[in-house]
Amino acid sequence: MSDAAAIINPQADTAEHFDVLIVGAGISGIDAAYHIQTQYPDRSIVLLETQDSFGGTWHTHKYPGIRSDSDLFTFGYKWKPWTGAPIATAGEIMGYLNEVLDEQDIRRHIRFKHQVKSASWSSDEKLWTLEVTCKDTGESRFFTCSFLWMCQGYYRHDQGYTPEWPGMEDYQGQIVHPQTWPEDLNYKGKNVLVIGSGATAATLVPAMAGDCGHITMLQRSPTYFAPAPNRNDVADMLRELEVPDEWTHEIVRRKILHDQQEVTRRSFEEPEALKAELIGAARQYLGDDFDVETHFTPKYRPWQQRLAFIPDGDLFQGIRSGKASVVTDQIDRFTAKGVLLKSGKKIEADIIVTATGFNLCVLGDIDFTVDGEKVDFADTVTYRGIMFTGVPNLVWVFGYFRASWTLRADLISEFVCRMFKHMDKLGAQVVTPRLRTEDHNMPKLPWIDPDNFNPGYLTRSMHLMPKQGDREPWIFTQDYWKEKDEFPAADLEDGALVYE
Ligand SMILES: Cc1cc2nc3c(=O)[nH]c(=O)nc-3n(C[C@H](O)[C@H](O)[C@H](O)COP(=O)(O)OP(=O)(O)OC[C@H]3O[C@@H](n4cnc5c(N)ncnc54)[C@H](O)[C@@H]3O)c2cc1C
């Protein structure tokens, strides 16, 4: 096939070329840039970012109280110590990333307001050509690269997911999605209804409770919450002993990962005991007279959905204080003043916040072609949840849900650098995952096993995602404790990666 890039866009002749092009300047894109820059300083890199700032998730979300729900010792990078409390606000995470950009001199590689629209691979030229829209001017620009590192996250940043409920148009108050929070939203003294009970709702409710008239969290079904003080005793002790930050970071990471592995193991092997502990902790905060059975006893196994950490049990404290309440029921319809529930109960509210999740998106809603053929990622099989059959020189950073996302970003960065080294040794310019003869009849399984992890945004869009197989290296386990050993030892000559 002739040059697909030239067929599609003759203007690609004017393209700027980079060895490695990173899409997205969130925590994963910055990690990728750090690894390339430190391990391959001779390779040219660029990060293209739709928004006007770095930070991704932590720049997009501006709702009250926005914070991490995992600890920053493991959500932060392995190579940059975290020196604060375990759970951090978006502002603190942005501060950390800002320091990284300065310390590692990465900022100069980022092009903000550059949205990648299409990416075409040409086997003749061994190049990706990207068409990019400049958000300022609306003009198209072209970039070429030898290697495409997709760090665009897993959801659409411009709009969150809001289900359609009957009668929404009748509602006379304001409906707000946390992902597009109006900066001037005034909720002082107002009655607020938050629909949802994930990490976002659990953050919003205590953050707003002090200012609202009353705030109600309406959930279809309960979620597990893990209440604990926002401090790490090991870190505090090591800091008191003036142990260097780098050591403290590494020791605390190991301790947290050790403890989390134990929780994950128990969620599979003794789910009932773990469930009883989590519910018992909720009861301690809420008191014996509170109906924990109805509102905080989920039907699923702990860890089948993300376990939301609530610092100092603030959600439970808000409910206990009477400023916030929780209702477990289903919406029948919206009314002029609020919602009517299936039970017949009504909740009136001046503002309704739909904390109902994200729109999952596959590889940044970019149109991909390989030699002129459209790529449907749902037809591909993933190589270790990093690369895709038939798609050359491309990796996607999809992190962990059960452990911190960034642990996987770091593992993938190290894997890619090792793969580059191997390609250099072979003198290869292209690497493409391809099913081996023995893999052809392999069953094609969902991207993430729904029995293992099944939040709504993932199950809604699973059919769009790449598939995994039933054997190495086509499995995507979402298991940090396996992958931390498997990735560094992965056989790069097992026949699944084809080099040219
Ligand atoms: C509110 C919230 C809290 C979270 N808390 C945690 C937590 O505590 N722990 C945890 O492990 N995970 C958490 N997550 C998951 C979180 O998204 C990831 O952990 C992590 O921040 C993802 O980083 P990323 O860089 O991979 O992607 P993102 O943060 O999603 O950044 C991707 C970037 O790519 C850009 N982009 C996308 N498409 C294009 C395109 N076509 N062209 C150019 N640029 C593009 C986007 O604008 C964005 O800036 C949370 C998610 C949310 C929404």
Q: Which atom of ligand 1 is nearest to the CA of 409?
A: 26
Q: What residue's CA is closest to ligand 1, atom 48? A: 56
**273 exposure class (CB count in 10 Å sphere: 0-12, 13-18, 19+):** exposed
pLDDT of res. 461? 85
Helices and strands: H and E segment counts in the chain? 14, 23
Rounded to whole angstroms, the Cα distance separating 213 from 496 reads 60
244 within some domain: no
pLDDT of res. 11? 56
Answer yes or no: do 100 and 130 share one domain. Answer: yes
Distance in Å, CA 330 to ligand 1 centroid: 30
* Single-letter amino acid, residue 374: K
Which alpha helices (H) appear in 174-311, and where do they start and end? 199-209, 233-240, 245-269, 271-286, 292-295
pTM for the whole thing? 0.95
Mutating to test ligand 1, I would choose from 140, 361, 405 the residue with most ligand atoms within 8 A of its C-beta, which is 405
Answer yes or no: do 15 and 110 share one domain. Answer: yes
Rounded to whole angstroms, the Cα distance separating 431 from 416 reads 11
Q: What residue's CA is closest to ligand 1, atom 16? A: 57
Q: Are 152 and 23 a contacting pair, CB within 8 Å?
A: yes
Q: What residue's CA is closest to ligand 1, atom 3? A: 68
User: Could you read off the pLDDT of 367-423 as tens digits, one per residue?
Assistant: 999 999 999 999 999 999 999 999 999 999 999 988 999 999 999 999 999 999 999
Distance in Å, CA 160 to ligand 1 centroid: 13
Answer yes or no: do 420 and 490 share one domain. Answer: yes
Distance in Å, CA 59 to ligand 1 centroid: 9
254 within some domain: no
94 within some domain: yes
pLDDT of res. 493? 98
Q: Which atom of ligand 1 is nearest to the CA of 366?
A: 41
The list of the chain residues with pLDDT below 50 reads 1-8
Distance in Å, CA 154 to ligand 1 centroid: 7
17 within some domain: yes
Positive or negative, the CA dihedral 411, 412, 418, 421 is: negative
pLDDT of res. 12? 59
Q: Which atom of ligand 1 is nearest to the CA of 26?
A: 25
Question: Which of 324, 356, 388 is a domain's end point?
Answer: 356
Q: Which atom of ligand 1 is nearest to the CA of 364?
A: 38
Distance in Å, CA 104 to ligand 1 centroid: 21
| Helix, strand, or coil (residue 456) | helix
Answer yes or no: do 433 and 365 share one domain. Answer: yes
Q: What residue's CA is closest to ligand 1, atom 15? A: 405
Distance in Å, CA 435 to ligand 1 centroid: 30
pLDDT of res. 385? 97
pLDDT of res. 9? 54
251 within some domain: no
Q: Are 73 and 236 a contacting pair, CB within 8 Å?
A: no
257 within some domain: no
Residues sharing a CB contact under 8 Å with residue 107, sequence separation 6 or more, in sequence order? 54, 101
* Pocket of ligand 1, beta carbon within 6 A: 23-29, 48-51, 56-57, 61, 68-70, 75, 115-116, 151-153, 157, 200, 364, 366, 397, 399, 404-405
pLDDT of res. 7? 43
260 within some domain: no
Quick one: CA torsion of 169, 171, 172, 173, rounded to 10 degrees? Answer: -120
Distance in Å, CA 293 to ligand 1 centroid: 34
Positive or negative, the CA dihedral 98, 100, 101, 105 is: positive
Answer yes or no: do 379 and 477 share one domain. Answer: yes
Distance in Å, CA 337 to ligand 1 centroid: 35
Distance in Å, CA 399 to ligand 1 centroid: 10
pLDDT of res. 4? 41
User: Could you read off the pLDDT of 212-239 as tens digits, one per residue?
Assistant: 999 999 999 999 999 999 999 999 999 9
Q: Which atom of ligand 1 is nearest to the CA of 24?
A: 34
Q: What residue's CA is closest to ligand 1, atom 19? A: 405
Distance in Å, CA 201 to ligand 1 centroid: 18
Q: Which atom of ligand 1 is nearest to the CA of 56?
A: 49
Answer yes or no: do 364 and 494 share one domain. Answer: yes
pLDDT of res. 5? 41
Answer yes or no: do 178 and 324 share one domain. Answer: yes
Residues sharing a CB contact under 8 Å with residue 279, sequence separation 6 or more, in sequence order? 292, 296, 297
Answer yes or no: do 166 and 149 share one domain. Answer: no
Q: Which atom of ligand 1 is nearest to the CA of 154?
A: 30
Angle between helices 27-39 and 405-426 (to 10 degrees): 30
Answer yes or no: do 111 and 212 share one domain. Answer: no
Distances in Å between the Cα of 451 and the Cα atoms of 275, 302, 445 are 17, 12, 12
Rounded to whole angstroms, the Cα distance separating 47 from 18 reads 10
| Helix, strand, or coil (residue 383) | strand
264 within some domain: no
Q: Whole domain around residue 227: which residue ranges?
A: 162-231+276-356
Answer yes or no: do 82 and 112 share one domain. Answer: yes
Supply the Cα-derived Rg of the chain in whole angstroms.
24
User: ∠ CA(191), CA(197), CA(203), 5° rounding?
Assistant: 70
| Beta carbons within 10 angstroms of residue 19's beta carbon | 15
Structural domains counted in the chain: 2
Write phi, then psi, for 419 (nearest 5 degrees).
-65, -40
Distance in Å, CA 196 to ligand 1 centroid: 20
Question: Which of 356, 384, 403 is a domain's end point?
Answer: 356
Answer yes or no: do 441 and 301 share one domain. Answer: no
* Single-letter amino acid, residue 287: G
What proportion of the chain, given as a percentage, has pLDDT over 70?
Answer: 98
Answer yes or no: do 376 and 324 share one domain. Answer: no
Q: What residue's CA is closest to ligand 1, atom 6? A: 68
* Single-letter amino acid, residue 188: K
Closest among 425, 436, 416, 443 to 498, alpha carbons compared:
436
Write phi, then psi, for 205 (nearest 5 degrees).
-60, -55
Identify the CATH number of the domain in which residue 141 sits: 3.50.50.60
pLDDT of res. 6? 41
